[in-house]
Amino acid sequence: MIATIVDWGALGQTILAALLGGVGVAFTFSLTILGASRFGQGSRELSVFESIGYGALALFGLAATAAAIVFGIIVMASG
């Protein structure tokens, strides 16, 4: 009976969105911290290229995190 009552499609989309949103933001923000942390170690431990790479990683992670949050709120508000 429950199988026919529940809209499994909508519930599945909820589960997928929550998984992607919750885990995705944790992933991208961790990359931001990794990049910023290593970039902050500076020239003592890293080459110039490594510093630039970690700086780019931090910026990418931050942009991806912000984009995911803004996208989520826009999708919700447009529902």
Partner 1 sequence: MTEADVILYIVVGTALAFDFTNGFHDTANVVATSISTRAMAPRVAVTYAAILNFAGAFISLEVAATVAADVVVADVITPTIVFAGLIGAIAWNLATWYFGLPSSSSHALIGGVVGAAFVAIGSEAVLSDGVIGKVLVPALIAPLLAFIVGGIAIVVCYRILGRQRPGPVTRGFRLGQVVSGGLLALAHGTNDAQKTMGIIALALIANGNLSAGSDPPFWVIISAATAIALGTYTGGWRIIKTMGTRIIKMDAAQGFSAQGAGSAVILASTHFGYPLSTTHVISGAVMGAGAGKRLSAVRWGVAGNIVSAWLLTFPMAAAIGALTYGVTRIFGDGAIGPILIAAAGIVLTAMAFARRIRASSTVPAG
Residue 20 tokens read as: 């992607």
- Nearest-approach distance from CB 6 to partner 1, in angstroms: 5
Question: Sign of torsion, CA 27 31 33 38?
Answer: positive
- Nearest-approach distance from CB 65 to partner 1, in angstroms: 8
Residue 37 tokens read as: 């942390």
Which residues form the interface with partner 1 (CB under 8 A)? Answer: 2, 5-7, 10-11, 13-15, 17-19, 21-23, 25-27, 29-34, 36-38, 40, 65, 69, 72-73, 75-77, 79
The number of beta carbons lying within 10 Å of the beta carbon of residue 54 is: 20
Query: Would you say 25 or 59 has its CB closer to partner 1?
Result: 25
